[in-house]
């Protein structure tokens, strides 16, 4: 982590302490520890609510509280230079070594402290220059991994095999596949959140991944049609891309998060889908250090910030569209999950992914 990024993260947390009237903030969630440390991994299992290290931030400095079996690795590889380490027995309750009281906030459940998770989420919305560069690289790698998997697939492969292609391609690029969804043509008509099964994928396959590296998470969906798409599906996908673009173009700094949500809902109806199509699956929302910080809806009053990441995922029968984007002042959002080898179509100035027809 650069000195500039380190200083900016600490400035934001100290501002949070002042705004909330706190003397200390305890960061327990791995996503927040990764954010504050510039990408340090405090998880062992893939997506725990609380990691193996807590970072205590005060105006005097930072302290990392962790168990003896984790300390050496964290101090040399994941959280070097972050602050003093307090090392506790592996069988101790770490919470007993953390500060508590009315002037202590925490981002996760910690008895005797104040829950300030929403304030921490707000503090990390706008990405720093260093984070943007890490995200661009991750997004490109995630898109390349999906391209590689889609070209490797055969109709006789199982959905489990398809997920393995994606996982291998992501892990080879240093990214954790924390979400892997696959549906072949037999299951696509029935499921919009499909965990992979032993079913053969057939001629039409949806691959979905959330790839994590340095704490940042890139969400992406791609479709491959072996033997080509029917004209009906090609026309439906073209209309879906206009819904996708309505969400993404409206994600502009200064708008509320509800604004792109409403724009997307209107586009469903405008482009020939049912007015209630959006009720059949969540539509996505802000992202960054969580797959979604929250799923957006018409009551989401938070303002979109410059360089805040979003992943919208509108869906219709048999099809979905999803990329991770970066909101930008004075222009269209930047698509982070892009691979130049993937076929795209320009829709209102945005290159949107087509179905790969092989």
* CATH number of the structural domain spanning residue 13: 3.40.350.10
- Sheet of 204-213, strand order: 176-183, 204-213, 216-225, 356-357
Question: Quick one: pLDDT at residue 68?
Answer: 98
Q: Which of 123, 148, 177 is the last residue of a domain?
A: 123
Question: Which residues lie across from 26 on neighbouring strands?
Answer: 56, 106
Question: Quick one: pLDDT at residue 173?
Answer: 98
Q: For strand 284-286 and strand 309-312, is the pairing parallel, antiparallel, or unpaired?
A: antiparallel
**In the chain, % of residues over pLDDT 70:** 100
Residues 114 and 232 in one domain: no
Q: Which of 94, 123, 152 is the last residue of a domain?
A: 123
Residues 142 and 272 in one domain: yes
Residues 110 and 176 in one domain: no
DSSP code at position 279? G
Question: Quick one: pLDDT at residue 51?
Answer: 98
Mean pLDDT of all residues in 83-89: 97
Question: Quick one: pLDDT at residue 341?
Answer: 97
Question: Quick one: pLDDT at residue 19?
Answer: 98
Question: Quick one: pLDDT at residue 27?
Answer: 98
Give the pLDDT confidence of 245-271 residue by residue, as tens digits: 999 999 999 999 999 999 999 999 999
How far, in Å, CA of 65 to CA of 84, rounded? Answer: 9
The whole-chain average pLDDT of the chain stands at 97
Q: Which of 67, 90, 123 is the last residue of a domain?
A: 123
Residues 49 and 110 in one domain: yes
Question: Quick one: pLDDT at residue 213?
Answer: 98
Torsion of CA 205, 210, 211, 212, to 10 degrees: -170
Q: What's the pLDDT band for 178 if we cut at 50, 70, 90?
A: very high
Residues 58 and 192 in one domain: no
User: Can you tell me whether residue 163 is helix, strand or coil?
Assistant: helix
> Alpha helices, DSSP H only, in 173-282?
231-249, 258-270
Other residues' Cβ atoms within 10 Å of the Cβ of residue 227:
11
Residues 286 and 199 in one domain: yes
In the chain, the number of structural domains is 2
Mean pLDDT of all residues in 320-338: 97
Q: What's the pLDDT band for 136 if we cut at 50, 70, 90?
A: very high
Residues 286 and 215 in one domain: yes
Question: Quick one: pLDDT at residue 3?
Answer: 95
Residues 154 and 291 in one domain: yes
User: Residue 58: which domain range?
Assistant: 3-123
Residues 112 and 151 in one domain: no
Residues 310 and 228 in one domain: yes
Using the structure block, give the residue that is written with the tokens 């309505």: 246
Residues 133 and 119 in one domain: no
Question: Quick one: pLDDT at residue 77?
Answer: 98
């Amino acid at each position: 982590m650069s000195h500039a990024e380190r200083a900016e993260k600490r400035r934001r947390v100290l501002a949070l302490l002042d705004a909330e009237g706190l003397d200390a903030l305890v960061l327990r969630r791995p996503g927040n520890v990764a954010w504050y440390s510039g990408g340090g991994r405090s998880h062992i299992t893939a997506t725990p609510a609380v990691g193996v290290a807590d970072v205590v931030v005060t105006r005097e400095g930072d302290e990392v509280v962790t168990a003896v079996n984790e300390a050496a690795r964290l101090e040399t590889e994941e959280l070097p230079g972050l602050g003093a380490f307090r090392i506790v027995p592996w069988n101790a309750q770490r919470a007993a070594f953390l500060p508590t009281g009315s002037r202590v906030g925490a981002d996760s459940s910690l008895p005797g402290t104040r829950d300030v998770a929403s304030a921490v989420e707000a503090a990390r919305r706008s990405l720093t220059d260093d984070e943007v560069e890490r995200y661009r690289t991750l997004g490109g790698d995630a898109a390349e991994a999906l391209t590689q998997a889609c070209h490797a697939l055969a109709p006789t492969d199982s959905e489990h095999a398809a997920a393995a292609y994606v996982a291998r391609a992501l892990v080879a690029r240093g990214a954790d596949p924390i979400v892997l969804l696959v549906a072949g043509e037999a299951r696509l008509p029935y499921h919009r959140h499909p965990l992979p099964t032993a079913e053969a994928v057939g001629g039409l396959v949806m691959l979905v991944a959330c790839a994590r590296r340095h704490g940042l998470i890139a969400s992406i969906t791609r479709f491959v049609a072996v033997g080509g798409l029917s004209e009906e599906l090609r026309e439906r996908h073209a209309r879906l891309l206009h819904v996708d673009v309505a969400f993404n173009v409206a994600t502009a700094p200064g708008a509320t998060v509800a604004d792109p949500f409403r724009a997307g809902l209107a586009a469903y109806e405008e482009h020939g889908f049912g007015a209630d199509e959006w009720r059949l699956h969540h539509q996505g929302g802000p992202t960054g250090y969580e797959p979604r910080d929250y799923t957006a809806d018409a009551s989401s009053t938070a303002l979109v910030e410059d360089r805040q990441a979003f992943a919208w995922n509108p869906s219709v029968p048999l099809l979905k569209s999803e990329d991770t984007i970066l909101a930008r002042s004075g222009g269209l959002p930047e698509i982070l999950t892009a691979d130049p080898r993937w076929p795209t179509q320009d829709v209102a100035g945005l290159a949107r992914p087509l179905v790969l027809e092989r």
